[in-house]
Amino acid sequence: MISNREIPKHADLQPYNFAVAGHDGTLCDPEGELFIKPCVQQEIDFYEKAFKDHPAFADLMPEYLGTLVLNDASDVHDIEEQIPAAVEHMTQHFKEEAVRMAKQHAADVAAAEAAKEADALAASKDNVSWKPNKSRKIATDKSVVLENAAYGFKRPNILDAKLGQRLWADDAPMEKRKRFDEITKVTTNGSHGFRIAGMRVYKGGENPDEWDQEGYKVYNKDHGRLVVNKDNVVDEIRKFIFNPRANIDEDLGRAVAEAFVNDLKRVEQVLASSETRMYSASLLFTFEGDGDALRAAIENQTPTTPPKEATEKEPVPLASRVDSGIVMDGEGEIILPQGNGTTINGVIEGDVKVLQLAGEAESDDEEFASLPKIYSLKLIDFAHATWVPGQGPDENSLFGVRSLIKIFEELTK
């Protein structure tokens, strides 16, 4: 839950630095608690329908705080009217910076749209012509305001897994379909139903000279397209979790992998019971990449009192609420989560110690929110997503989810 702390002044605001895939123009404060992302109306509609009518699906998504529609004529009053749920967390300076960014974005998009006008006209005539968006800017005056999934970690390791064998929506021009089908053919989108679209690993790789100024090894989209294949995909994901340089040993890594397995099974169950079509949506894996901070977070979230049982009227919150399927015993040894992550009435059944922690946390949200995070798994990117009542589950996305389950299960061994 978003805390009540004050958002810093606009001079401290910065472009979002933890994006491993996606478009330019995202904005957050230095703490990373609020995340403003340019989007199209279809994505807004998908978020709003999920949070209104599909709570189990909404639980898989980042917390949705509202939308902004800003252009070169917008002012701070527009922000206050459009997102009242988030305004109390925004200082005047933050609002002014959002308006400034919106005006700059509008100018950039207008220039890009003018240059593309001839191409767009040709595409509308033959439904074939299409050129990739090399600027990475979306032609929109709309943004979603979300809670940042990477907030609360000291050194977040992040992996973006783009789901699906088919990556294009029904309205895609023929040229785009052909290009995306070629990507599927030569990447793990074809063999496994997902592709590593980007990865960021604290002290990752073998060569420290490849780290950025914050100590991360960044694997861009070309890594997932040109390096990762059906034969090495397990080892590539292993690099994301197991990392002796960052003090994440085999036991700790297996525990993280097991936690992701449990959440992936929850994602599978929710998608299998939902009627959607999502093209180029992603699963965003995040966990604490500093091994010492990770162990400290686990110790802080390991309860010492007997477990509180869930009831039908008072279910224990989801594992994502406590951000942990991992605990330590009295000797400081890692305990792998028990059970298969089965969801009953929206409740994850796992290690009873974790369930007790969730029950206690319910009484003091502020104290719980201050605990360091361990891991997070969120479904993101819904620019080409829609609800399709009566058409059954999204098997295209489910194929990728099930492949990821198998891979992470292998990493627990």
The pLDDT score that the predictor gives to residue 346 is 30
CB 412, CB 257: distance < 8 Å = yes
pLDDT at 305 over 90: no
DSSP assignment, residue 10? G
Write the pLDDT tens digit of every residue in 377-390. 999 999 999 999 99
What mean pLDDT is predicted for residues 254-260? 96
CA distance 349 to 254: 19
Write the pLDDT tens digit of every residue in 331-351. 555 555 444 433 222 333 333
More confident residue, 196 or 322: 196
Instruction: Band the pLDDT of 151: cuts 50, 70, 90.
Output: confident
Query: Which residues share a beta bridge with 36?
Result: 27, 145
Percent of the chain with pLDDT over 90: 50
What mean pLDDT is predicted for residues 91-116? 62
CA distance 321 to 315: 12
Instruction: Band the pLDDT of 395: cuts 50, 70, 90.
Output: very high
Cβ neighbours of 159 (radius 10 Å): 27
- Nearest 5°: phi and psi at 177? -60, -45
DSSP-assigned states of every residue in 295-312: HHHHHHT---SPPPPP-S
| Residue 398 CA from chain centroid, whole number | 17
Pick the range with the lowest mean pLDDT from 37-46, 177-186, 261-270, 340-349.
340-349
The pLDDT score that the predictor gives to residue 91 is 61
Instruction: Band the pLDDT of 129: cuts 50, 70, 90.
Output: low
Residue type, 32: G
Residue showing tokens 């032609």: 139
CA distance 96 to 76: 6
- Nearest 5°: phi and psi at 166? -90, 125
Residue type, 246: A
Q: Provide the mean pLDDT of the chain.
A: 76
Cβ neighbours of 120 (radius 10 Å): 15
pLDDT at 204 over 90: yes
Return the CATH fold of 151-301+374-412: D-amino Acid Aminotransferase; Chain A, domain 1 (3.30.470)
pLDDT at 371 over 60: yes
Of 44, 285, 295, 281, nearest to 150 by C-alpha is: 285
Residue type, 16: Y
The pLDDT score that the predictor gives to residue 187 is 98
pLDDT at 352 over 80: no
pLDDT at 128 over 50: yes
User: Exposed, middle or buried, 40 (CB in 10 Å: 0-12/13-18/19+)?
Assistant: middle
For 220-341, list the strands marked E by DSSP.
276-278, 282-288, 327-328, 334-335
Q: Look at strands 142-147 and 64-69 and give their pairing.
A: antiparallel
Tokens read off for 124: 């509308």
